[in-house]
Amino acid sequence: MIVTKPPMGWNSWNMFGANISDALIRQSADALVESGLRDAGYEYIVIDDCWSLRERDAEGRLVPDPEKFPEGMKALSDYVHSKGLKFGMYSCAGTKTCARYPSSFEHEFTDAATFAQWGVDFLKYDYCNKPRIDGDLLYKRMGLALATCGRDILFSACNWGADNSVEWIKSTGAHMWRSTGDIFDSWQSVKDLAVSQIERQPYFSPCCFNDMDMLVVGLRGRGNAGLTGCTDQEYRTHFSYWAILQSPLMIGCDIRQMDAATLETLTNPEIIAINQDPAFRQPYLILNWGRSQLVWAKQLEGGDYALGLFNLDDDSRHMDFYWWDLGLPAAAGYALSIRDLWLHEDIGIFPEGMGLDVPAHGCRMFRARLTRR
């Protein structure tokens, strides 16, 4: 299985934690379709930790909790598929999951076969309670089990960037890998994860996408990952940063009860197009002022540029940058025509660079196209 674009979908953990059920997953699948999120590109419905009984059955297989999932996982998977969506589940490489449920350690091939029988399309594979075995071997085990289970299952390796995984994660068969610690619904958490990716920028690549953790857009301080919450501007900055750095976009809020601002952020087609651009070229920094004023650039299919200006400071900042830092010399005779992706309007032609005010905790996202001067 080859995954050629950052996956998009919804995961139960950030909002619901252990409070999951068959009804919740079905309602969330319905909401993904009815809200327009599916049509915007979000296709995975993923159940996180706490879905099974505390013990395996007599044949050593995982057993869905019959109180939470009375019809079992195959019936639920069939329902998700009937909505034109894909079905995801959770396990762990350690001796227990993070919530201390049975993990897949020493059961990798049995579990992969079970997931295939249930119609699973996506496996989030965590790293809690790790035994004294090299992490790459633990992920290679499951990578091989999934590759030979008879079904295409996207392998989401969630080891938080630990144990120098940047050096070996692509060898495991993972299609995406967590390059950060856990996210929480606060500006400080979003900022910390954003800054942590500066050094990991060279490892962003297609087929094994850096996962900066699930989105907190729309949590508003509620749920399992809720803390102080963020403003709508901070949520837009969060979404834009994840998009231009080609992270998978996995929604974490209660999509059954989204407000209009949340839906507008999550379905912005011009921002999603940057994340899903088919060239998937490496993003790079053209401005890094104190690790708080950042301009990320990425060359897109067809020669356009994506430009993301991010002010992580607590005060408004003026940010100047120039086209030669993109590899476009002034002597080439070109300017850039700039489109604002949040305002959805063309803002002008700029011959050599730009200077803009960016509000505190804010961002500006642009698509830039070459034009003759």
296: left (phi over 0), alpha (psi -120 to 50) or beta: beta
- H or E, element range at 30: helix 22-34
- Buried b / exposed e across 320-334, counting CB within 10 Å, b at 16+? ebebeebebeeeeeb
DSSP 49-84: SS-B-SS--TTS---B-TTT-TTHHHHHHHHHHHTT
Tell me if residue 123 falls in helix, strand or coil.
Answer: strand
**Residues 340, 366: Cα–Cα separation, whole Å:** 5
Residues 6 or more apart whose CB falls under 8 angstroms from that of 232 comprise: 261, 265
Given 30, 182, 325, 340, the catalytic residue: 182
Any catalytic annotation for residue 126? yes
Given 22, 48, 111, 126, the catalytic residue: 126
Tell me if residue 2 falls in helix, strand or coil.
Answer: coil
Any catalytic annotation for residue 182? yes
| Burial group, residue 162, by CB count within 10 angstroms (0-12, 13-18, 19+) | exposed
Residues carrying an active site annotation: 126, 182
